[in-house]
Each structure stands twice: as C-alpha cells, then as structure tokens.
Structure 1
Amino acid sequence: MDLQRDRPARAGRERVGRGRRVRRERRGAPASSARAGARSARARAGRRSVRRTAARRRREPQALITDVPGIRVGHATDLAGLTGVTVVLCDGPAVCGVELRGGANDVVGLDYLDPRHLVPTVNGVVLGGGSRFGGEAIWGVMRWLEAQGRGFAAGPTVVPHVPGAFLFDLGLGDSRARPTREMGYQAAASAAPGPVAEGNVGAGTGATVGKVHRIGRAMRGGIGSASSRLGDVVVGALVAVNAVGDVRDPDTGALIAGARESPDGHRLIDSARALTAGGVLERFAAPENTTIGVVATNARLSKPEAAKIASLGMLGFARALSPPHTAFDGDTLFALSVGDRPADLTRLGLVAAQGQPRFTSCGRGSESSRSAPPPARRRRARASGAR
C-alpha cells in the first residue's frame, strides 16, 4: 500500500469528520451561549445604527424647530448641578394645546390652554429640569416678557402666559440644584432663531434614559430638535428625552441608548423585554423620568386642533421610546400654532406623528452624551466643587 499516496485521502476524511463534530457541538451548544450571541449581534446592530444615524445627520442640512417662522429657542445650563431650562418663545401670540401621557407629569399653567379660558394665546413654553422645583424658572421668563411689553393686555399692564413641563434630574447631579428665576430670565433673553444647541444643555442637561435598574446602569439622554415640511407648512419640534425606557432607531428598531447590562459596561439590554420577563423597577427610581417637548407649526389652528396635533405627535413617541408612557413617566407634549397657513388637520397630524420619532431619537443628544452617567463620587465632587 502506498502510504504517501493515501495520506491526502485520509486528511480529507479527517477534515470532514472534524467539521461534522463541530456542527454537532454547535447544535448542542448551551442556550446561554446562543442568547449571548444574539445579544452581541443586537449590540453590533445598535452600534451600526448609531453610526448611520450620526452620518446621515452630518450629511443632511440641519432641520430645527426654529425653521418655523416666529419661533426662538434659548437655553440656560447649570453644569455644576447638572440641570437647566429651555425656553421656546413666539414672536407673536400663539395658540397652544397639550397632551399628557404616563402617570408622573410635572406641569404648570395648563389651565389657560382650555378652550373655555378667557386668555386665547400664550407667549411661549418652558421646558426644564428640577422636577416640580423647576417651575420657578417660569417666573423669570415672565419677568423678561413683561419687560418687553409682551403678554395679555390687562388694564394698565400686560400679563405673560407661559406654560411649562419639567423632568426629574435630581438624581444625577446636585439634588439641591434647580432651575431658578435667573436661569429662566437668562434663557428667555438668549432665545433666538437659527441654530439650536442640542445634547446635554438646557432642559436636557441632566436627562438620562434606561433606568429600569436605577441610575447606575442608565445612559445620558439629552435635548434635540428637528423639522418637516408639508408644502409651505413647517412642523418643528424640540424634545428633552429622560425616559425610564430605551431610545430606538425609528427606522430599524435598533437600540440607540438605554439600560446597560452592568454599571461599568456599555452593552445594552432591552428594557421592555426585561420588564415583561419580570424585571421590577425599584421604588426609588419610579419618579426619575419624563420626556417633554414642544411641536410648533406655522399652520393656523384652534385650541382643540392644537391639542389634537399634540396628541398625534405623542403617538410617535411610541416608535422611538421603549416602553413609552409608563406609570413612571410624565410624558408631556405641547403644540404651538404661530402662523396663518391653512392646513388639513389629518395631514398635519400625520406629519407630526411620523416625524416625532426622529425628533425623539435626536433628543438623546450628541454622540458624547451617550456615555454613562458619571459615578456618584464624581457627581458629588462636581457639585460641591462648583457651587
């Protein structure tokens, strides 16, 4: 027998045998390994989605709420306390509606959005951190508006009307830091058309997402803006994302930001799936959420129609936040009408609903804001060293 001539045949049979053993081993691999592989694949898909979204936003012309004629935006930011306030001001009186979802809303000044209220319009909307304490910033905005002679004519003076919504950021920075009257005044005075700062500024300074396992495994949220067009009608929005759940790419469904597997890791978990499987929100984390925003348009709307647009826009949150509108969220969306363009309410609502996920996903802020919240000791040092 020629051993040299038979060696290639034996080698081929051995390779085939090894391949069969590997396939059998793979078929018998533990389920945990398969799940780990699936998680790794989802994480890679999420990272690719983030890169594609960032690249697309760099290529596209920036679309902002200030594309709506007559809309101005200003921020005031407390980087030491990790809180802030954002003001959306209208050049003229604006019709306003609102939609509330979830079960933990902190809002001020909704009474004069009722169609039966004597005051027909508002001068702007305030978004801020500080939870219920953040409402103090509204007084600073009103003081600035009064100094400009803007508000509802009431005898010898004017009374500005500015509703607001506030998110819980007291667990990230200094819990004693809140938006103040001075910050409200500063944000109003700095409000301008044109470029809008996004990320961890203004109301998005202390925003976080993915808090099903408390703040230690969450990620930074942020504030973002975008706009869409329907002929000569413009619909823009500004959203501060501080959800208990995750942020997903509205086009692919991939996770963009949310809860992490461990405090020191960057691999994301599916918060909705974890909750469905029996993950329980710790009681302390319950109020630490809320996504708040403003939709503005130059279409002519009545108060009920503005409320309907806010309602339809809120439906779009469900495409970008997972899970949305939980009992631990105080999701609030205002709608402002600042123009006189005629528009079909259904078409306008569809634009608001379809565009809202884009506004929300960019509301997670800049790529730098996707980092984990700073450790507790660094948060304490930052707050005590700067205050």
Structure 2
Amino acid sequence: MGEGLQEIKISEIAGVTFGQAQDYTAMTGVSVALFSGENTGGIDVSGGGPASREAHLLSPYTDTKSLNALVFAGGSAYGLGAADGVMKYLEERNRGFAVPGGVVPLVVQSDIFDLTLGDGRVRPDAKMAYGACLAAEAGREPVSGSVGAGTGAAVGKLYGMGQSQKAGIAFHAAQLGELQVGVMVVVNAFGDVFDWESGKQIRGLLDSKRQNLLSTEAELYKQMIALQTGTNTTLAAIFTNAQFNEGEMNKIAAMARSGLARAISPVNTMADGDTIYAFSLGEVKADLNIVGLLAARVLSEGIKKAVTQEDFSEEAYRNLVLAH
C-alpha cells in the first residue's frame, strides 16, 4: 500500500465481529457489527435523507455509553425493525446497558433504500438480523460483494434503475505501526464511483443501451434534472484500535467524509442519506489527524471494493432491473 501502510484483514481489529444475512429473491439483507468490549463512537451525516435508529447516542452531547452493535440493512425506514432481532440476541446473552432487572442493548442502525430492486415488499426483519448475529459468532472474515446490506445496492441512478449498475458492501483495513483502521461500507449511491487513485470512473450511470458509462455530473448540468430525494445512500463505519473520546471520534467521522468525495460523484446530495460512523475500540495512542486521514483512505478503497467485488453478472443485473 506504500507509505508504510500494510493491508490487513478487518477481522484482525479486536473488539468487533461481523455477521451478514440476505434474501436473494427479495434482493435485500442485513450486516451486523457486534462489539465485545468498551468503545466510543462518533457520527457524520452529510446526506439529505438518512434512515437511522438511535444515531443520537453517538452525539458528544449525550452520556458516554459503549455501544453493543451497529446494524446496516436494506429496506429503507421499513428495515429499521431489524435492530429488534439484534437486541433480542444481545439480551439473551445479557449484553447491554445495565438497568434494574436486566440490560438494555444499545444498538444503532442505518439503512439503504433498495425497494426498487427485487421484491420491495420484503424487508430485513428481526429474524434476519438475529441470523446475522449468529453468523458473527464464528468471528470469520466478512465477505464483500452482493451480500448482507449490500445485496440490493446499486449506483448511477439518475435515469432510473434501468441505467444503473450493481454495487454492494465491502470491508477493508490497513495498519500503520501499531495503528489499525478498518471500514465497513455499503455503496448505494446516486452518483458514479471512481478509482480514488487514478480518478477513472469505474461504475455508475450507463447509456440507454447499457453499453457505455455516462457522467452523472455532466448529465445533471445538461438536463437540469430535479433529484428524487431519499432513495440513495452510502453507509460507512470506521473502526480503529486508537483511543479517542466521543468528540474526537465525531471529528474522525467528519474527516473520513473526504473519502466519499474522492470515490463518488456527485455525493452528499439531498438524494443521498450518506452517513459515516466511527468507533474507537482500543488503547493505541495516535494523532487524531493521522487517524482521520487514514480513515478517509480506507473508506475510498472500501468503496472501490464494494463495486468491483460484487458477484452479480451484468446479464443477471440487467434482467433483474428490466423485470421492474
């Protein structure tokens, strides 16, 4: 990776495990990050239409509490009920914020809009999310591609799903000395995706024959189209073994936003619900600026992976979108 950076598996970052479940008939799914120890978190919301649950827990103005889980899912706001399955799983294992008579699991969630791909009447639910938690118990390296919350993800949707391309979820991590920074990212963007190093467009809006890439930005300038709000989102979560407080993690989440700008254009529009979480899981001493810079880098690379490691063929995706 250069500059002393070494690519690692995200499973090497202690304190978090990942599980996923999906429905390929409905083309939707859920991805869960389960925290095993103390953590602090932050959040940056830069899109206009986020679908989220309990996100305010990551505000620096609330009481300091370690979270128990993060959920990314499809189903738009309908899919927010998936967190109930995660809470059930955690309560059964007595994991949560201690209260008289038991615990209250602290679970935050954000969803993508995938209702126009597959069967929009089927959304991730508590049962699916519970299954994702069971999958996380194995502690295996999570799979990138058209799985979990990335099952129904797509990009380049200016002219509708018929000219879009398939995207998905990705996991990526890097190490610099003792410092580790990783990302889980679901790419369901309105805009196009670019190789952040070369600047070349690699995924996004296609022409009407689905043969050549178009520039969403150029088409917007040409057509002056009003965007349909709330139907796109890029969701990301940064995980680091560096030690920071809530305010600092909110700043790191904000710094990671530049990773979106390097890899997606247009981005942060009112048609997107772009949200970045950031979690401190360890005790490594590191400079906030370096961690924020590295967070942006792993996010950009994660976005690239999310559109190049998905396993849907062009023919299968074309048939899927034309069926609608």
Does 2:41 correspond to 1:96? Answer: yes
User: After superposition, what is the alpha-carbon deviation per residue over 1:164-184, rounded to whole angstroms, capped at 9, x for unaligned?
Assistant: 110000001111010000011
| Distance in 1 separating the partners of 2:276 and 2:244 | 16
Using structure 1 for the length normalisation, give the TM-score.
Answer: 0.78
Structure 2 counterpart of 1:218: 164
| Distance in 1 separating the partners of 2:69 and 2:40 | 10
The structure richer in strand per residue is 2
Structure 1 counterpart of 2:192: 246
Instruction: Evaluate the alpha carbon distance shift between residue 379 and residue 76 of structure 1 in structure 2; reply closer, same or farther with a 3 A threshold.
Output: farther
- Amino acid of the residue matched to residue 332 of structure 1? T
Instruction: Decide which of 187, 200, 205 is 1:259's aligned counterpart.
Output: 205
Give the number of equivalent residue pairs.
Answer: 318
| Distance in 1 separating the partners of 2:140 and 2:235 | 21
Equivalent pairs: percent with the same residue?
36
User: After superposition, what is the alpha-carbon deviation per residue over 1:116-158, rounded to whole angstroms, capped at 9, x for unaligned?
Assistant: 3235210121001000011111010011011111111112201
- What is the Cα deviation at residue 114 of structure 1? 2.3
Does the Cα contact within 8 Å between 2:20 and 2:132 map onto a contact in 1? yes
Structure 2 counterpart of 1:155: 100
Does 2:224 correspond to 1:269? Answer: no
Give the alignment of 1:348-367 within 5 angstroms.
348-366=291-309
| More deviation, 151-160/167-176 | 151-160
Structure 2 counterpart of 1:30: none
User: After superposition, what is the alpha-carbon deviation per residue over 1:256-281, rounded to whole angstroms, capped at 9, x for unaligned?
Assistant: 1101011x423100111111223525
- What is the Cα deviation at residue 65 of structure 1? 2.7
Does the Cα contact within 8 Å between 2:69 and 2:86 map onto a contact in 1? no
Unmatched 5+ stretches in structure 2: none
| Distance in 1 separating the partners of 2:133 and 2:174 | 25
Instruction: Decide which of 306, 329, 346 is 2:272's aligned counterpart.
Output: 329
Does the Cα contact within 8 Å between 1:109 and 1:162 map onto a contact in 2? yes
Does the Cα contact within 8 Å between 2:14 and 2:241 map onto a contact in 1? yes
Does 2:114 correspond to 1:174? Answer: no
- What is the Cα deviation at residue 364 of structure 1? 1.6
Using structure 2 for the length normalisation, give the TM-score.
Answer: 0.93
Give the alignment of 1:1-387 within 5 angstroms.
63-191=8-136, 192-262=138-208, 264-281=209-226, 283=228, 286-366=229-309, 368-369=311-312, 371=314, 373-375=317-319, 379=323
| Distance in 1 separating the partners of 2:34 and 2:323 | 32
| Distance in 1 separating the partners of 2:265 and 2:56 | 30
Structure 2 counterpart of 1:28: none
Instruction: Specify the structure having the higher radius of gyration (Cα).
Output: 1
Higher normalized contact order (CA 8 Å, seq sep 6+, divided by chain length): 2
Cα RMSD for the two superposed structures = 1.9
User: After superposition, what is the alpha-carbon deviation per residue over 1:84-141, rounded to whole angstroms, capped at 9, x for unaligned?
Assistant: 0000111113211111012111111022222332352101210010000111110100
Does the Cα contact within 8 Å between 1:67 and 1:236 map onto a contact in 2? no
Instruction: Evaluate the alpha carbon distance shift between residue 377 and residue 303 of structure 1 in structure 2; reply closer, same or farther with a 3 A threshold.
Output: closer
| Distance in 2 separating the partners of 1:354 and 1:65 | 15
- Amino acid of the residue matched to residue 162 of structure 2? G
The structure richer in helix per residue is 1
Does the Cα contact within 8 Å between 1:257 and 1:370 map onto a contact in 2? no
